[in-house]
Amino acid sequence: MAPPSLSVIIPAWNEARELPATLRALEEAINGSGLSAEVIVVDNDSEDETAAIARQAGARVVHEPERRIARVRNRGAEIATAPWLLFLDADTRVTPVHLLAVWDALSGEWAGGGVPVAMDRPLPRFPALGLSLWNALSRRFSLAAGCFFFVRAELHRSVGGFPEHVYAGEEVGHSRRLQRIARQRRLRFGILDAEPVATSGRKLDWYATWQHALVALVFVVFPWAGRFRQLSWFWYRRPD
């Protein structure tokens, strides 16, 4: 059997609720696009049925005990066999259009990148403005969101993967390093002109608007906040 063209890597911590729909959407996208792909779920020491759900869906499952998202993403890349990598969050739903856009980009002159991001629900004013700002900044500065991040495997490994000295914002650091190596090799890294990918707006249920605003303010005033676990709580805590 020929090796897959694309390895899809999904970090997952206690994702028994979201993962089934994500894997179903991914399977439909793979079948609809006609691409050859392997699915890798990185179980980040889950306490629920995350690993069992992934195995039942036919995904390769690897365990990573350290609760640091960059490490979890890199763990999946370590066992990937395809020349192209796509990192998805466990609550992000892709379509054949997204996979074909990645195929076209990596078959051409792209080193990697992302797509615009949308939520799976209508947003109140402040979150909607925040999402619009992110999409504008990500396109302007070629910063791929962690929920949908594609890259040539060889380039991912050549820069050392996602930076593991941070607990949050690892996609920003990885984007910048890949931009530099892409320029050296006369390749492109950026945001594709593709339809937005839908990801869960569940944090709107978990945290109040003022908490979202506080996190944004902390990272604007103190860009190195991602190096500290306590300041990165927004990505590591969930309501009971």
Look at the chain and report how many structural domains it folds into: 1
- Flag whether 107 is in a domain: yes
d(CA 107, CA 111) in angstroms, rounded, equals: 10
Q: What is the pLDDT of residue 113?
A: 98
Residue 194 belongs to domain spanning: 6-235
Give the CATH number of the domain where residue 27 resides: 3.90.550.10
Asked if the structure places residue 240 within a domain, the reply is no
Is 212 inside any structural domain?
yes
**Mean pLDDT over residues 69-90, rounded?**
97
Residue with tokens 């050549």: 158
What pLDDT does residue 143 have? 97
pLDDT digits 0-9 by tens, 188-237: 999 999 999 999 999 999 999 889 889 989 998 998 999 999 999 999 98
In a domain, 1, yes or no: no
Q: Is residue 142 part of a domain?
A: yes
HSE value, Cβ hemisphere, 13 Å, CA-based, for 47: 2
Of 54 and 209, the one with more pLDDT: 54
Which residues, including other chains, have CB under 8 Å from residue 145's CB and lie 6 or more apart? Answer: 114, 117, 134, 138, 171
**Strand intervals (E) in 59-136:** 60-63, 84-88, 92-93, 110-114, 117-119
Q: Categorize the per-residue pLDDT at 2 as very low, low, confident or very high, splitting at 50, 70 and 90.
A: low
Closest to 189 (Cα-Cα) out of 117, 108, 81: 108
Residues of the chain with pLDDT > 70: what percent?
A: 99
Q: If you average pLDDT over residues 36-58, what whole number do you get? A: 97
Instruction: Output the pTM of the full model.
Output: 0.95
In a domain, 189, yes or no: yes
**In this model, does residue 103 exceed pLDDT 70?**
yes
Is 102:84 a contact under the CB 8 Å cutoff?
yes
Residue 120 has pLDDT above 70, yes or no: yes
Closest C-alpha among 110, 97, 71, 58 to residue 198: 97
- Please give the Cα distance from 204 to 28 (Å, whole number): 28
pLDDT per residue as tens digits for the range 135-194: 999 999 999 999 999 999 999 999 999 999 999 999 999 999 999 999 999 999 999 999
DSSP string, 136-200: HHHHHHT---TTEEEEEHHHHHHTTSS-TT-SS-HHHHHHHHHHHHHHHTT-EEEE-SSPPEEE-
Q: What is the pLDDT of residue 125?
A: 87
The reported pLDDT for the residue numbered 3 is: 77
Contacts of 147 (CB under 8 A, 6+ apart): 88, 89, 91, 92, 117, 197, 199
Tell me, yes or no, whether 56 lies in a domain. Answer: yes
